[in-house]
Structures are given as C-alpha cells and as structure tokens.
Structure 1
Amino acid sequence: MEQVSEHQEEILDPALEICDPHHHLWHLDEHGSSELLRSIKVRRYLLPELLEDLEAGHNIVSTVFLDARAFYRASGTAALAPVGETEVVNGVAAMAASGRYGDRRICAGIVGRAYLADGDAVTETLAAHVAAGGGRFRGIRLSASLDPTGSVPRLAVEPPEHLYTLPAFQRGFARLREFDLSFDAWLYHPQIPDLIALARNFPDQPIVLDHVGTPIGLGTYAGKRAEVFEIWRQSIRELATCPNVSIKLGGLGMSIFGFEYGDAPLSSEILADAWRPYIETAIEAFGVERSMFESNYPVDSFTCSYPMLWNALKRIAGGASADEKSWLFRRTAERFYRIEPAS
C-alpha cells in the first residue's frame, strides 16, 4: 500500500497545548532493518525535521522521545548498547533547552530500551540510562509484538513468544521501580491478555499501552475488522480495570492497522472517521486522565503529515470539554512522564 496523497489543511484549534508523548528520532540506512521500517519513507528524522513538524501550526509545548534503535553504541556490551541512544537524545534535548530553537521542551522525557528478560542483570543498563539521561530519562519500552501467523510486517528484532510472562522478564521488570521508571508496552491485540496479567502482578508499576493495543488489519486478519474490533474491545476494557495502566491514542497511521482510505486526497475528516471507533472505545474504558494522544512520528508518516494527524485527533476530541481536552492532549502525558507543565 502506498502512502495516501493528501491536501493542505488549516490548523484546527491552534492554541490548544499539546505534549506529544511518542515520537522518534533516527537516521535510517537505505534499506531499513525490517519490513516495517522499509515501509517508512522518512529516512532521516533528526532535530531539523522534528522542528519543521513542531512549527507547522499546532501548539506542541513538549515532547517525549521513544526508543527507535537508531543510535546504539557500536562498541561495548550488547546490554549497554541502547544507552548510546539516550546519550544522543539527551544531547538533542540540551540543544533545545538552550532556547536557540524556541521554548518548546523537546525530548523533555526519554524512554529507552533495556532487555528486561536479562533479569536482575538489567540493573546495570537501567542505571546507565538514568545517568546518561541528564534528568530526563523516564522509562523503558520493550516490544512484545509478535504475530504467531507470521503474516504481518516483521520488526527489526523479534521477541520470544509471551515475552511479558517469562519469569526472567518479570525479574527484570521488577527492577524498574528501583529507578522510578515507567514501562511502555507495545504488542498486538491478541497479546493484550499477557499485559493484563503483567499489570496485575505488578500493581504499583506505571504502564502505558502504546498505539491503542494495535488491532491488526493485515495478513490473516484482513477482511475481519468487525471480528478483530470486538476481540480488541473486550481486551481493552479488561486492561482498563488495572489502575496502573494508561493508554496512548495513536499509531493508527501504521500500515499494520490495514486501513483503506480510497483514492481521493486524504483529509483529517477521513482519518477521524476511520480512527474514531478505536480512540473513543479506549477513552471510554480508561477515562481522559489515563488516555494521551500521540503522534508516533515519523512512523505514521506512512499515512499522513504531522499537521493532518493532529487535526484528525482534534476532530475526534471535538465533543470533549476544555478540561477533558487538556488531559487528552497534554496533562495525562505530563503526569505519566513527570514533565513539568510549560505553563
């Protein structure tokens, strides 16, 4: 599926303050390292490219960087390789904090990677991340995304089956609280029960589910949207009973969702219509104080521009009150990632 063409739009509600709690920075090689990355046309997304998006009209006051496996150390142990990315991103955050690029708090929070299935040994990696983060390191993301049918785009690193249930993983997971770190979970909708069990085993550990739990629309799941939606909805409602879990509302621009938008130029109205059932279901289950809109950029550039993405999310939230919007677009993310409000 090719990226859908789109027309230029006026920015909706330009004064609304936004914390974008999920974006990446990277400089990919020509071919990428997985089917998912090869589908992304944006090969370079560093501070200049990020600034171009942040300055496109929406009022982005702060951002959170998520691990992208882009700037790992080329030497040293494998366990400490991801710390190189934290070092690089903290440098980007320090550049932004100089005021040279405006007053946005870019990369005010940093979420990196540590292989928690290393068990107790992961403590060294967590400590190194915190030290490298300059006071900005907030958490760990370790993807469990694995489709047993093998019919969806593969990630750069395939996790073992039921990663979050493995005893070694849970030993490493328990170490997060020692460093006051949160956990970003990314998995596919059939795997949500594993996250429910993890959240119940560690009720004091803050967890956020990325990309609304990624209900798959490709491969063996294609043509089964209603069936997948019902399975996903039941799992989301069950997960929401865990008070330590929040949810990110976004990522729906990824190809894995399998949306078809037709041949007409794409608009935020079209996106909002397609995405609304998933986002409204998640908000209904979690409430606005545990729900946060995300861009997932530049991954979601597969579908639309950064300005159009936020227009679509604003359309979906159009019926919310001003207080509810402040939670969805800024306050939930700031509280979860412990970012001081910009105003």
Structure 2
Amino acid sequence: MRVVDSHVHFWDLSAHHYPWLANPGKSFVGDARDLKHDYLPTDLIEDAADIELLKVVHVEANYDPANPVGETRWLQSLADTRRGGRDFPNAIVAAADLSQSNAQAVLEGHMAYANTRGIRQILNRHSDSLYNYVQQDYLQDGVWRRNFGLLARYGLSFDLQLYPSQMADAAALAREHPDTLLILNHAGMFVDRDSVEGYRAWRDGLRLLASCENVVVKISGLAMFDHGWTVESLRPYVLETIDAFGVERAMFASNFPVDRLFGTYSALWHAYAAIVAGASAEERDALFRANAQRCYRI
C-alpha cells in the first residue's frame, strides 16, 4: 500500500526540549510515559513495515514554546540530510502562538525554511477541564484572531485541532478568512461519545465546517479515543467524516507515534483500506495520497 502520511511527529529528546515529555503522565489519550523516547524518520520507516511511505507531513510536536522556530530548523535539517534515503518530512506544520505580539516574527522565522507549509496552534477547550489542552479560548481572543489573518500573507495553512463544541466558532473564522486553508485534525476529536447530544454535536459540527469551502479534514487520531479499536469500531467515524466532507476534501493520516500506543502502523492503514474497500480507485487515491499532496503542496 502506497500512502502520503499527513500527520506524524518526530522528536529527539537528547537534543531538544519537549515540555510534555520532560515529565510525562497518563491522560484520556493514553500514557505519554510510553512515548518518552526518540522518534525519528528512520523509526517511522521501520514502523511502516509493508506500507510504502511516499511523503510525510510533520505536525508540530509541542516543542519548546520559547523557541518554536528551533523545531522547524531541526526538521528542515532532517529533510535535507535524506537519512535512510528519504527526505522526510516533506512538509512542516510549525508552531506559533498567534496570541503573542511576536507572532509575525515567528511566522517569518518559519518561512525561512523551504518545507514550511502551515501552522498549528492547539485550541482544544472543553466544559470538562479533564479534556482541556490549553488554558484560554484562543478563538475568542481578539489579538489571536487578528494575527490569524497573517497566515494568508505568507501562504500558510492552519491545522485546526479542537472539539465539536468549538466548531461553530471555527466555521466563523474560516468564513472570515476564505483565502486560508484550514485542515481539521483528527476527524474533529469526537470525545463526548457517551451521549446522543455529543454525537449530534460532532456530526453537525463536521457538516458546518464542511460547508466552508476552505476547510478540509484529516481522518487520524481515532485511536486516542478508542484504545482497543477494531476495523468495525473505526468504521462509523471514518464514513461519517467522509460523508460530511466528501472524498475530495478528506485524507487519511497516522498520528504516529502517538497512535502507536494502540496498534501498529500497518494495521491502522490496512483498517482504513478495509473501511473504504468499496471506493473507486480514484477515490482511494484521493484519500490515501492525492488530497494530502495537494493540501500541503508536496
């Protein structure tokens, strides 16, 4: 199977600082203590096994917030070195805190590196503090929203990681910035799985975002909420997401090594393939390769 993986993370703990891995613990997405080890392109290639990795998109890995451009500099050096005969990562989604006064300088710093394609700033806020990733609602922050407008100036996309309860605000943001591509991470992170209301919020939120022509979706990270996943347990979430966005605006991704906590790389990609086995060859090409290449310009 040949794939373009649009969501992976690399880290080198001996050379760089990742605050979340300095003293990792357990959370609803798994035990981060099992991730406290280097993970480099050679490790991903080894994990891939029978999956042929054509290209890889690296999404910021919660690197030292005091030096976000340092991660991009390091990642570009990996790509330029062609370790293991591969120029991974082919695209870099870098970190930037758009609520800060130095946001433009940080964006310009990232733009000095050839593989920079976009920005991610995690936005996840939930009524239950257990699920919070961040301590403020950036979508309601005036400075953050103004600096978001800088992305179009630099031709940068935005990887959108949030919960269904935030999707209405994100849709409004997308409409305010039609020239910026927003890439919804992890199929919208449907965390409230114990209620009909939670399902409806996720389903309706997907469709609201999909109504914005400048929003696409990555089907990834599903194992974070389904630690004992099977093909059948993933099936409804995959198909619902594709139904909302259409084959032309959806792409599969691994979220490795985070999802490595709950299964192998090969098993995950073969599960995706089994779920969409009835799709045409053109549709499968879009989901596994072409859409990621187009959206990340690789």
**Shared fold (TM-score, shorter chain, > 0.5):** yes
* Matching residue of 1:252: 222
Query: Which of 23, 44, 54 does residue 50 from structure 1 map onto?
Result: 44
- Superposed, 1:60-139 pairs within 5 Å as 60-70=53-63, 72=64, 78=66, 81-96=67-82, 101-102=84-85, 104-118=86-100, 121-131=102-112, 133=113, 135-139=114-118
* Matching residue of 2:152: 177
Equivalent AA in structure 2 for residue 277 of structure 1: P
* Matching residue of 1:21: 6
Q: Is contact 2:193-2:199 (8 Å) kept?
A: no
**Count of residue pairs brought into register by the alignment:** 289
Equivalent AA in structure 2 for residue 90 of structure 1: Q
User: How far apart, CA to CA, are the structure 1 residues paired with 2:259 and 2:126?
Assistant: 20
Segments of 5+ residues of structure 1 without an aligned counterpart are 1-13, 262-269
Larger Rg: 1
The Cα of 1:317 is off from its aligned counterpart by: 1.4
Q: Is contact 1:145-1:159 (8 Å) kept?
A: no
User: How far apart, CA to CA, are the structure 2 residues paired with 1:189 and 1:36?
Assistant: 17
Equivalent AA in structure 1 for residue 47 of structure 2: D
User: How far apart, CA to CA, are the structure 2 residues paired with 1:227 and 1:36?
Assistant: 20
Secondary structure of the 1:205 match is coil
Equivalent AA in structure 1 for residue 24 of structure 2: G
Query: Which of 280, 287, 296 does residue 321 from structure 1 map onto?
Result: 280
Q: Is contact 2:97-2:103 (8 Å) kept?
A: yes
- Superposed, 1:223-302 pairs within 5 Å as 223-224=194-195, 226-254=196-224, 257=225, 259=226, 261=228, 271-302=230-261
Equivalent AA in structure 2 for residue 286 of structure 1: F
Query: Which of 128, 148, 151 does residue 149 from structure 1 map onto?
Result: 128
Equivalent AA in structure 2 for residue 150 of structure 1: S
Kindly indicate which of the two structures has a greater share of residues assigned to helix: 2
The Cα of 1:235 is off from its aligned counterpart by: 1.0
Equivalent AA in structure 1 for residue 23 of structure 2: H
User: How far apart, CA to CA, are the structure 1 residues paired with 2:258 and 2:115?
Assistant: 23
User: How far apart, CA to CA, are the structure 2 residues paired with 1:105 and 1:314?
Assistant: 26
Equivalent AA in structure 2 for residue 285 of structure 1: A
Equivalent AA in structure 2 for residue 252 of structure 1: L
The Cα of 1:30 is off from its aligned counterpart by: 6.0
Deviations 1:201-259 (A, max 9, x none): 1112111000011010xxxx4632x43222210111111010000000111011xx2x3
Equivalent AA in structure 2 for residue 95 of structure 1: T
User: How far apart, CA to CA, are the structure 2 residues paired with 1:159 and 1:326?
Assistant: 39
Equivalent AA in structure 2 for residue 83 of structure 1: V
The Cα of 1:92 is off from its aligned counterpart by: 1.1
State the percentage of identical aligned residues: 35
Q: 1:331 to 1:105 in 2, by over 3 A?
A: farther
The Cα of 1:31 is off from its aligned counterpart by: 3.0
Deviations 1:240-287 (A, max 9, x none): 010000000111011xx2x364xxxxxxxx622111111111111111
Q: Is contact 1:111-1:137 (8 Å) kept?
A: yes
Q: 1:179 to 1:171 in 2, by over 3 A?
A: same
The Cα of 1:166 is off from its aligned counterpart by: 2.0
Is 1:39 aligned to residue 37 of structure 2? no
Note the aligned Cα RMSD (angstroms): 2.0
Segments of 5+ residues of structure 2 without an aligned counterpart are none
Q: 1:62 to 1:123 in 2, by over 3 A?
A: same
Secondary structure of the 1:117 match is coil
Secondary structure of the 2:240 match is helix
